[in-house]
Structure 1
């Protein structure tokens, strides 16, 4: 039985601005990871470094420029291993409707529940970053 995380939010910015914020390492490091690398190209590998113990990798499994991107985890903790997370972006009234998913979790255990909460907090951080330029220092992110 696979379980999934879904969050939707409106970001007052263009789809291109939101796409850049969820795909370019220099932006990812301002709202999510400590250090990251990668390119928004099909099959490209991303390194998502949070700490020495949380130095994870994923591959772009689907990408449509300024519209959507999906990442399949290839090296992570056992609960994230094999999961896919992604962002679908739809223009809406001079803003972007972001539809986030993190799918194929093996079970709704404590890590799943904590990750769902963290994604909600991080996506709010993404919204504040894109709309207001607000950067929360890495050590202060949940």
Structure 2
């Protein structure tokens, strides 16, 4: 049995803008990671650096330009290692519906529950970044 996190949110921005924000390192660093690297190409490895202790890696496991990108964790911690997180984008009135998932958690432990909360907060930060140009300093992100 595995456990999954799901969050859907509407963002008043184009699918291309949302896709870039969840796949281009310069944008990722404005709402999620401290410093990241990678390119949105199938099989490419991303480095997601949050601190020296949390210097994680993942690979692009699914990709449809401006529609979907999924990352399979390769180096992280025991809870995140078997997981994949995905951003699926659909047109919605004056913007984009973002369907986020983070699947294959081995157990619904405290880390899983805290990560679900953090993703909700971070995705709110992504929305504010795209809609208002707001960048929250890394030290103040959950």
Please tell me the TM-score bracket, short chain as reference.
Answer: over 0.9
Q: Structure 2 regions of 5+ residues with no counterpart?
A: none
Paired residue for 1:12? 12
Runs of 4+ residues deviating >6 angstroms: none
Between the aligned partners of 2:106 and 2:12, the Cα distance in structure 1 is 34
Partner of residue 125, structure 2: 125
Using the size of structure 2 for normalisation, the TM-score is: 0.99
1:55-105 per-residue CA deviation (whole Å, 9 max, x = no partner) reads 000000000000000000000011000200000000111200000000000
Aligned residue for 1:41, secondary structure, equals coil
Give the 3-state SS of the residue equivalent to 1:87 in structure 2.
strand
Q: Structure 1 length as normaliser, TM-score? A: 0.99
- Alignment gaps of 5+ in structure 1: none
State whether structure 2 residue 101 is matched by structure 1 residue 95: no
Aligned pair count reads 142
- 3-state SS of 1:107 partner: coil
Q: For residue 42 of structure 2, what is the aligned residue in structure 1?
A: 42
The 2-side partners of 1:88 and 1:80 are apart by 20
Query: For the residues of structure 2 that align with 1:139 and 1:122, how far apart are their CA atoms?
Result: 13
Q: Secondary structure at the match of 1:86?
A: strand
The answer (yes or no) to whether the contact 2:82–2:106 under 8 Å persists in 1 is no
Quick check: 2:32–2:138 contact (8 Å CA) kept in 1? yes
